[in-house]
Structure 1
Amino acid sequence: MKTVLVEPLTISKEALENYGKNLKTAGNDFAFYDTKPTSTEEWLERTKDADQIILANTKMPEAVIEENKNLKYINIAFTGTDHVPVDLAKSKGIIVSNAAGYSDQAVAELAIGMTINLLRDIKKADWGTRNKMKTSDFLGQEIAGKKVGIIGVGKIGLRTAELFKAFGADLYGYNRSQSKEALDLGVKFLDLDELLKISDIVTVHLPLNDSTRDTISERELALMKESAILINCARGPIVNTKALVHALKNKKLAGAGIDVFDTEPPFTAGEEILDQDLALLTPHIGFFTRESMDKRAEIVFANAEDFLKGRDIKTRI
């Protein structure tokens, strides 16, 4: 058997070596790389004869699945799976799993942080302090008492709801199903239009697929209060960027906190969202904390060992 980690996982060299020893004792050859593959040819060279491929968030070419006849398992060290040809893999009997749960806290905390930053204008206040602005220039708002609409009340959305509740917010949710945990927390489920109309803060926590692309576009943004803010720490294409830019330009929203984009930063060309003063932007860091990277490695390498030993994979999708 052969396992290949095709890109780095942001863990220490010592940790990687320890995980590697565990895999090798399972009767498996383990190869790893400390750079991301940058071409299909590089992907194919690295994964040749692999039974198991471990990757993070680098887009996997379909050719890896089509041409690798030994491949039995794709072990994704990420929550989202839209960068992997999952349907193609499954059609060939290849097992696919993700690392669900590793970044729930990290993403939820960033959503809260962006909300506080926008409501208190912290970014501008830092600049203002250095440039002789006054206290009276920075009248802010509190989360307490605000209506928070959570679009996608899965594990990350639920953790985000828990944190907002701790600040004293009223919770509203939009989801395909209503979990007992969310109902017990006090989340009131509404249809999307109603949620958008009443919410002071809207935070997006959906996966990206054909049904969720452009969930928030021109029509949906027009339903929101002009005093409302929008947070997207999920996937860029869930919120239509052109429509969001138009809303911000015309002050149809009070602000937006955006961690995810149609393409991954750094941008190779000018993006109109970069010019919007009402937007708070971060380069897809929601998942990226020391704690979440360590937790991710634990999940991924446990899955790797389970596969090699013929056990059920806990985060199989």
Structure 2
Amino acid sequence: MKVALMESLGISDQELACLEAPLKEQGVEFTSYQRTTDKETLIQEACDKDVMILANMPMPADVIAACPSLKFIDVAFTGVDHVGLSAAKAAGIAVSNASGYSNEAVPELVIGMVLSWLRNMRAVEDRCRAGQTKQGLVGSELKGKTVGIIGLGNIGSRSAELFHAFGANVIGPDSHWHDCNPSYIRKVTMEELLSTSDIVVLHCPLNESTRGMIGKNQLALMKPTALLVNAARGPVVVTQDLADALNNGTIGGACLDVFDNEPPLDPAMPLLNTPNTLVTPHVAFATKESMTLRAQIVFDNLISWMNGQQKNVIL
């Protein structure tokens, strides 16, 4: 069996070797490649492989269709919107994801970004380094704020737990509700969530129902002091509408870890030039602990699939 590791999993060579060793003993051949978006290169690398392991690099449908030996795509990521699932389904290719690996990492960054925004951390640090004071930069507390979380899966639920621990009032929309949600999350309509939340946090997957879900009309419902946090996927929010809302003072600010395209971003991208905006280059998932766990899940997925017991099934 031939396995292509299409990009780095963010772990050391020693960790990778330990994960590969028991499979190599069974005759599995591993080939590691540098991340690329060139389709011809991707096809050349993967066309004779049985298994493809990738993280968040785009894997379009036409590349998948050009790999006749491919039987399993092992995605080292939670979201799979960057994978051509239609082609995989048509070819009978199994697909699994690394569900659960970033359940701590993403919520912790969200909390950190929110606290940083509430306490004006970038500005006060600049003031301090310049020998100045806090004058005009008194912050705000998270306790008592209403936090609306859209997307209450594993990651969203953990964020809710952390916000609740800070004393925030957590609400969730009835359109993204699970009956197993804890009692401290109050179910409301989407309109009520947007209009009453001090902080709106996006943790939903990207699909046809969520693409462009937050646009001009939804932003207009929000408080002029409200903060929008996107730790989901960039296209869940209409970029230009959010830029306009920030520039016009329709909402108070934004914390963004995801964008329409993966970083590096064009410096002219609208959301890099808006006021009261904290941005990070899609790092919410990236901690030493989560990278190690992700790799373990990916290799466990591979072993389980080889044994006819596929885990974390997407297709």
For this structure pair, what is the TM-score category when the shorter chain's length is used for normalisation? Answer: over 0.9
SS class of match (2:182): helix
Letter in structure 2 aligned against 1:178: W
Q: Which residue of 1 aligns with 2:310?
A: 313
Say whether the 8 Å CA contact 1:74–1:97 is kept in structure 2: yes
Letter in structure 1 aligned against 2:303: E
Q: Which residue of 1 aligns with 2:208?
A: 210
Q: How does 1:100-249 map to 2 (within 5 A)?
A: 100-174=99-173, 176=175, 178-184=177-183, 186-249=184-247
SS class of match (1:256): strand
Say whether the 8 Å CA contact 1:26–1:305 is kept in structure 2: no
Q: Which residue of 1 aligns with 2:64?
A: 65
Q: Which residue of 2 aligns with 1:18?
A: 18
Q: CA deviation at 1:180?
A: 4.4
Distance 1:129 1:232 in 2: 29
Deviations 1:244-296 (CA, angstroms, capped at 9, x unpaired): 11111111111110111111111245112111121111111111111110010
Distance 1:211 1:281 in 2: 25
- TM-align CA RMSD: 1.4
Say whether the 8 Å CA contact 2:101–2:297 is kept in structure 1: yes
Q: How many residues align?
A: 314
* Alpha-carbon spacing, 1:232–1:18, altered in 2? closer, same or farther (3 Å): same
Q: CA deviation at 1:19?
A: 1.3
Q: CA deviation at 1:69?
A: 1.6
Q: CA deviation at 1:239?
A: 0.9
Q: TM-score if structure 2 supplies the norm length?
A: 0.96
Q: CA deviation at 1:313?
A: 2.0
Q: Which residue of 2 aligns with 1:292?
A: 290
Q: CA deviation at 1:175?
A: 5.4
Q: Percent of aligned pairs with the same residue? A: 44
Q: CA deviation at 1:66?
A: 1.3
Q: CA deviation at 1:10?
A: 0.8
Say whether the 8 Å CA contact 1:153–1:175 is kept in structure 2: no
For structure 1, which runs of at least 5 residues remain unmatched after alignment?
none
Distance 1:125 1:181 in 2: 41
Distance 1:92 1:73 in 2: 10
SS class of match (1:182): coil
Letter in structure 2 aligned against 1:5: L
Say whether the 8 Å CA contact 2:106–2:284 is kept in structure 1: yes
Distance 2:272 2:227 in 1: 17
Runs of 4+ that moved beyond 6 A: none
Deviations 1:79-112 (CA, angstroms, capped at 9, x unpaired): 1101101122112211111101111111101111
SS class of match (1:104): coil
SS class of match (2:181): helix
Q: Which residue of 1 aligns with 2:49?
A: 50
Q: CA deviation at 1:48?
A: 2.4
Q: TM-score if structure 1 supplies the norm length?
A: 0.95
For structure 2, which runs of at least 5 residues remain unmatched after alignment?
none
